[in-house]
Amino acid sequence: MSYLLQSLQAGSLSLANRLVMPPMATSKADSDGKVNAGVLDYYTEKSAGGYLSLVIIEHSFIQQAGKASENQLSVADDSVIEELRKLANVIHRNGAKAIMQINHAGSAADEKVIGEIPVGPSVLANPRKGTIPRELTHQDITAIVKAFQNAARRVKEAGFDGVEIHSAHGYLLNQFFSPLTNKRVDEYGGDVHNRIRLHREVIAAVREVVGEDYPILLRLGASDYIEGGTTIEDSKIAAQEFEKAGVNILDISGGFSGYVVPGNNSQGYFAPLTEAIKQVVSIPVILTGGIIDVQVAEQLLAEGKADLIGVGRAVFKDSNWAKKAVESLR
């Protein structure tokens, strides 16, 4: 049997195959972040037929100060739950599982969008955006943990099968993880254990509100690919701590490099990261990154590079990609 067509059990999450649609921002939401017909139509089309076992909804902001862009989806207040439930339902009707990714942009936010100076772990320019943030106080950090917790509660109430915490692509949690942007001298700065303290607090708060059996995923920017930034050695330590904290699946991507590896366009370019992390954790690991050929996905699974394969841009360009891939393996 094909590796890609094998089922997988991760905690209480049962997946029919190993094919995942990773989160990709669409900027289709209403100006207040609510789901609308455009969002529903997009995800209905992408998940049709249930060929993708798992659809991870694009990053959604947990509070106004963490909004990354105009027309980004919101999980910031209870008024969004009813429309989010419609989104979960269309994916379920198509035979796939639905996860929602929750995020705070930190210093990657735009002052024009959020109406205030963006925040970050330290007063250092964001390497991707150039924005210089205001340094978060302990009181601010406590409020952000609570915002992640409330967002996760809304995701569960809306009927999603799990929640994904975003710590990649240079957003807030990634900013705490990376030495490029975290020069704090308190308990949130210094060695890698301190730089992931906020992650552990967020995971604990989310677990408290969603219960023991609800799947928690974490998207980790496992390397910045910039001198002085995070390395795979940092991420191996972090991954083990996240597993101990109760994360059920790790979704691996880039840090301040974004969703690419500079100078590497090969299919599955994050494979060295996922392979290294798989060796130190027992939970499933998702590999994304430029995969467009089903046989490459098969080979990456066969070689033990990952447990699940995320195909983003190929599915974005061709809504029938997953159907053709699965049928070619049957």
- The number of beta carbons lying within 10 Å of the beta carbon of residue 179 is 18
- Cβ-in-10-Å burial (0-12, 13-18, 19+) of 32 comes to exposed
Contact (CB, 8 A) for 232 and 223: yes
Coil, strand or helix: which one is 299?
helix
Which alpha helices (DSSP H) does the chain contain, by range? 37-47, 81-93, 111-114, 138-157, 172-177, 192-195, 197-210, 232-245, 271-278, 294-302, 313-317, 321-329
8-10/13-15 β-pairing: antiparallel
**Contacts for 27-31: CB closer than 8 Å, 24+ residues apart:** 27/69, 27/70, 27/71, 27/72, 28/71, 29/71, 29/72, 29/73, 29/74, 30/71, 31/70, 31/71
Residues in the chain: 330
Tokens 């700065």 belong to 189
- Catalytic site residue from 3, 43, 51, 171: 171
How many Cα neighbours within 13 Å face the side chain of 260? 6
Is 171 labeled as catalytic in the residue annotation? Answer: yes
Spell out the residues 6+ positions from residue 37 whose beta carbon is closer than 8 angstroms to its own.
none
Amino acid at 64: Q
Catalytic residues: 171
